[in-house]
Copies of this chain bind each other. A is one copy, B any other.
């Protein structure tokens, strides 16, 4: 990976969008990023990018998510327009979740970050080890 930033015209301007010289507190990007950066959001987006899933399937696919957070996160992703929820009134009920076109568009951008994480998790682990060792050494 190279360390260059693709488009230098962005940078912090990205976060300042629409409110030049103003505080970053009410920045619209933060509002959008907040949902995406939820603890389970990228994982569920990643799953749904592969194919549609039922509620219970997602639950089994992500073993350590609580049912409560699965419901809630899917609800947020649906509200922001990334996920489509379709109820089939069978008994027992069947609810299918899938990505919308908008969601696929967003995933196209998120994917870069996930891919970077996949390639570089070794580097992160190494950095953590170094940091923790330096900290312990300082305590001597």
Contact = CB atoms under 8 A, between A and B. Distances in A.
B114 A3 contact: no
Interface string A1-38: 11111110011101101000001110011111111111
A113 B110 contact: yes
Contacts of A95: none
A43 interface: yes
Given A61-B24, A117-B33, A12 B108 contact: no
Contacts of A109: 112-113, 115-116
A73 interface: no
Interface string A26-68: 0011111111111101110011011000000000011110000
B49 A5 contact: yes
Copies of this chain present: 2
B34 A39 contact: yes
The range of chain A's interface size is 35 or more
Contacts of A32: 117, 120-121, 124
Given A6-B108, A23-B63, A80 B127 contact: yes
B42 A4 contact: no
Q: What are the 9 closest A-B residue pairs judged by CB atoms, nearest first?
A: A81-B127, A109-B116, A37-B37, A32-B117, A12-B50, A28-B121, A3-B104, A3-B101, A112-B112
